[in-house]
Structure 1
Amino acid sequence: MDKQILDKANEWLTPVFDNATQEAIKKMIADSPKELEESFYKNLEFGTGGMRGVMGVGTNRINKYTLGKNTQGLSDYMHSVFAGRELKVAIAYDCRHNSDTLAKTVADVFSANGIKVYLFSELRPTPELSFALKYLKCQAGIVLTASHNPPEYNGYKVYWEDGGQLVPPQDGEIIKVIEATEYGAIKFEANNDLIEYIDHEVDEAFKKSSIENASFNTPQEAKDALQIVFTPLHGTSITAVPGVLESAGYKNVHIVPEQAVPNGDFPTVKSPNPEEPEALTMALALADKLNADIVVGTDPDCDRLGVAVRNNDGRMILLNGNQTMVLMTHFLLEQWRKAGKINGKQFIGSTIVSTPMMMELGSAYGVECKVGLTGFKWIAKMIKDFPELLFIGGGEESFGFMVGDAVRDKDAVAATLLVCEIAALAKAKDSSVYKELLQMYVDFGFYKEHLVSLTKKGIEGLAEINRMMVNMRNNPVQEINGERVIVVEDYKNSTAKNLLTGEAETMSIPKSDVLIYYTEDGAKIAARPSGTEPKIKFYISVNAEISSTDDFAEAEKQLDAKIKNIISDLGIQ
């Protein structure tokens, strides 16, 4: 056993930690050295979407002590930067095991530090926390969730006073304070006078805001004609999405009954992730039974959404995140144009691993498309950094979208309503969401994306991911699918190098462990370790011009073949 790991485990055998924790560690020391190693070999870190991990004892696990340490450090930081102000935080939690008790623990620590806490009385969607934080004029907010990770996970997302997740410099400053905090310094004794439970008032304000941002005077007859199948995948969206759709005038909403009740075991799916086609199997079956027009499924904390629509053959197909993003962005741009609201003082947002088609949309409508690092916290930061510009909407490939700035994170509540508006208006003019997408490919270029995600668990997996990134960084690919690589962007070193001329430019975007290759035929391949899961991801984008929707099928075959060849060339099957 590594002495450093054993020393860390022995620290958890002191009276600072409760008896149950100490007994669990003693059992691991005696019977499960591998589990002990996994539990203590590192401290849980903040990634793209906050802190996520397996629940259990140890520094590399989600438990009352790791979250208590986070909260104590955050409390100390808030007192230092907001000195003299009444400090307030909002806390929400999802359907995962222990989310409610962990949320109360976090509330207890904040209140013990003299901070007013608004705690949702029951589970609520993550986007509602972002809204509530601003609505209640809090300086920070916390959501207990692990998004779409497996059932054994939980997590801790931190939001700042603008409603967005932590970004520089606050994230680094807070992490330093947390790392310097001793477990014995955590104040667990609640001041219950400072904890206020919230529900109906915030719910109604959130619902009203969602409808104001994502509905566009769609005729009631168009809404009545749309048949919608919705599934919350056992998650929190059941508390918000059906009510928002009903209040917006959508009457034909059919909820998958087997998945309507929140359940942290997610018993009907392998993964509660709407990016995975399997997750929507039951919803698609119900849609075929009812001859529904559209299927929408959301992940457990209701920030991501998967959308399925009928193609020209009447078969339900699942759209990818890039497709839903460009559909919703185009619709918003068109609505703003029709209303005469585009005057050069607006922008849309995207990320470096998402479809380049977003740039084409912005250019076509005379609206700047700002591109940031992976994660909606960077889009939220754009809103804060450019207050002179109005944010129309934006997203990224990971099945998320942000409609306006009332919620400063991906928001499956407003996005579900928005995509239903698109579907209803398309059907009313004898079109469809699918046909609208194909016409966009004619108008703006046919961009096709594909994601390869390789899971590498544990200590060995992390080391392998690091080796892969080092190798790609030190030995950049010169040719992909018979096409020369002309530019390599290295976001860790902040350089963009032209391989044909040898010239290198310094990029101003914040550092991140991402590599992007651009080939001479316009293909784009990005590689990055996931910030929330034990995975390395490869994002492939290829494109072609088509002159009519009749050309789509043949062009898609050619692009599919190109993607297949790229995957083979890179050896990432």
Structure 2
Amino acid sequence: MSSLPAIQAAGQSGKILPETVKNLATWLGASLPAWAVESIDELVDKGAWDELNNRFYRDLEFGTGGIRGRTIAHLPTTAETGTPVGQGTPAHAAIGSNILNDFTLTRATIGLFRYTKKYLLESGRAEVPSLVIAHDVRHFSRHFCELAASAWTKLGGNAYIFEGPRSTPQLSFSVRYLKAHAGVVITASHNPPHDNGFKAYFEDGAQVVAPHDKGIVNEVNAVPLTDLAAFLDKDLARVVTLGRPADDAYLGVATKAAIDPSVFRKTKLKLAFTNIHGTGGVMSVPLLIDAGAEVHEVKEQSAFDARFPTVKSPNPENAEALSLAMKLAEAEDLDVVLATDPDCDRMGVSVRGTDGKQHLLTGNQIGALLAEYRLTKLKELGLIPAAGSDRVAIIKTFVTTSLQDAIGRGHGVKVINTLTGFKWIAAKIKGYEDKLKEALLVNEGIALDYDKTPFDSRVKLLQEHSTFYAFG
């Protein structure tokens, strides 16, 4: 608390915000570890008031999808940096109420557990709350994964983690496959390397929606800082590490989602694949090879790397992020480029044009191609009537291209629009999956999992390309 008088004086002189003073006083009074107190003292001694404002002017907000924020501050302290490990990961995530760190992540985990336990009790289900956690390759991702799993088991629940980085869609699938009550992905998607996040899922494998979203937020906000100390030391004794069977289950379902597996071998499809240093190659590459595609990985981007050093942004929808893959495709005369972001919930695609060059597709183009291919093949196989059926639906968001509405009308199937965000599509799927007996189409794929860009979309997109390639 030695820094508190200087902090209060800075507040009185207007150097820091009143809310910053309040939050700093709360945190300094919460029995913080020595390194955290040293970090605050260092910033106060340096007069780094802007940095303290950035870190403490508010609590990191737990929104409907979870929390996301910096883990490495603009001005890291000596104690935070410590001896960096791996790819330059500091010894500690930065201290701050507006930072994703051990404290804010543990608070989120406790709140999610308490809501899940309350939900089960109110539903008359005498079950132990269970949680599946996946993580990407970012700074602190594995540590946060283990910390959340440890906290969940200390609270009395069952926690499952993977052997290494796994994708967001695989987490979504695994929640349902393992019949867990909740799921978490430690990821900040394609945000900058200094960010990370805590994305929450419920027992249907989808990101939380009403009424669970507000209930979880309320529980997280009710967790006092003083409750966290007992959970900051990891204990993995009761945490279950999922082995190869969990991966095989996911691959097995994805393989079965292929409508016409023979098309790859018939056309000898050749493609470039890049995971842009993220999780995408873990499952995508073996699936595509097993399907019969000739896969050329971008070696410069295949290794996990929290820094994403070969791109400005690891967003596969940006041409810059695909530049190495597109160069490889043009040099090797490959047909398609596939790219995934760090947690593999976003896909980028380019295709070879008649000019021999690679051309990047937009998300709307990819979605329209998937919808057209899926409906055409289902009709060819006799799985839906040639004239269509009101028991088949494309589910899309209002902001997705109206071309999909036209595709649906042309094939005689329903088109259902939802609010923006895949969680709303997932909610529709959950409502309809027991009612629609023939088929259910989603903008990014079928209900293999309940998160955007389902894994099998990559298979179906390549099947479509192979089909069009074979028949001109």
Specify the TM-score bucket, using the shorter chain as the normaliser.
Answer: 0.7 to 0.9
1:278-329 CA distance string (max 9 Å, x none):
0001001101110111001100001111000122322211000000010011
Which of 424, 435, 438 is the equivalent residue of 1:388? Answer: 435
Equivalent position SS for 1:194: coil
Instruction: Give the equivalent residue in structure 2 for 1:228.
Output: 271
1:54 aligns with 2:70: yes
Residues 126 and 143 in structure 1, CA contact (< 8 A), matched pair in contact too:
yes
Report deviation, 1:258: 0.4
Give 5+ residue unaligned stretches, structure 1.
396-400, 431-573
- 1:26 aligns with 41
Alignment correspondent of 1:464: none
For the Cα contact (< 8 Å) 2:136–2:167, is it kept in 1? yes
Counterpart for residue 39 of structure 1: 55
Cα deviation per residue 1:200-220 (whole Å; 9 max; x = unaligned)? Answer: 001001011111113424345
Distance 1:221 1:245, change over 3 A: closer
Looking at structure 2, the residues matched to 334 and 46 of structure 1 have their Cα atoms a distance apart, in angstroms, of 42
The match for 1:144 is 186
Instruction: Provide closer, same or farther for how the CA distance between residues 135 and 221 of structure 1 changes in structure 2, counting only shifts above 3 A.
Output: closer
Deviation string, structure 1 residues 51-95 (Cα, Å, up to 9, x no partner): 211113212111011110011111111111113212211111000
Choose from 289, 300, 319 the match for 1:246: 289
Alpha-carbon distance in 1 for matches of 2:313, 2:54: 23
**CA distances 1:147-171 after superposition (whole Å, capped 9, x unpaired):** 0001000001111101101111100
The counterpart of 1:282, out of the listed 304, 308, 324, is 324
Query: Identity, % of aligned pairs?
Result: 35
Report what 1:363 is aligned to: 409
Structure 1 counterpart of 2:252: 208
What residue in structure 1 maps to residue 119 of structure 2?
A: 81
1:439-518 alignment runs, 5 A limit: none
Shift of 1:361: 1.5
Tell me, in whole angstroms, the C-alpha distance in 2 between the residues paired with 1:377 and 1:220. 32
Runs (5+) with no aligned partner, structure 2: 1-15, 72-93
Residue in 2 that maps onto 1:158 = 200
Q: Is the 8 A contact 1:71 1:109 kept in 2?
A: yes
CA distance in 2, matches of 1:27, 1:147: 32
1:183 to 1:223, Cα distance in 2 relative to 1, 3 A: farther
Q: CA deviation at 1:98?
A: 0.6
Judged with a 3 Å threshold, the aligned counterparts in structure 2 of structure 1 residues 25 and 367 are, in CA distance, closer, same or farther, namely farther
Decide whether aligned partners of structure 1 residues 300 and 220 sit closer, same or farther in structure 2, where only a CA change above 3 A counts. Answer: closer
Shift of 1:49: 4.7
| 1:269 matched to 2:311 | yes
CA 1:201–1:221 in 2, change beyond 3 Å: closer, same or farther?
A: closer
In 2, the alpha carbon distance for the partners of 1:7 and 1:151 equals 30
**d(CA) in 1 for partners of 2:260, 2:160:** 32
Instruction: Determine if the alignment matches structure 1 residue 10 to structure 2 residue 58.
Output: no
Out of 409-418 and 323-332, give the one that drifted further: 409-418
**1:47 deviation in Å?**
4.7
Alignment match, 2:5: none
TM-score normalised per structure 1: 0.71
- Name which structure has the greater RCO, CA cutoff 8 Å, separation 6+: 2
Detail structure 1 runs of 4+ shifted over 6 Å in the superposition: none
| RMSD over aligned Cα atoms | 1.7
Compare the two structures and name the one with the higher strand fraction.
1
| Change over 3 Å in CA distance of 1:191–1:269 after alignment to 2 | closer
> C-alpha displacement at 1:406, in angstroms?
2.0
SS of the aligned residue for 2:145 comes to: helix
Match of 2:362 among 297, 317, 320: 320
Q: What's 2:297 paired with? A: 255
Cα 1:307–1:29 shift into 2, 3 Å:
same
Structure 1 residue 67 and structure 2 residue 105: aligned?
yes
- My pick for the range that moved more, 112-121 or 21-30, is 21-30
| Residue 119 (structure 1) shift | 0.8
Q: How many pairs were matched up?
A: 422
Give the 3 Å change call, closer, same or farther, for CA 209–145 of structure 1 in structure 2. same
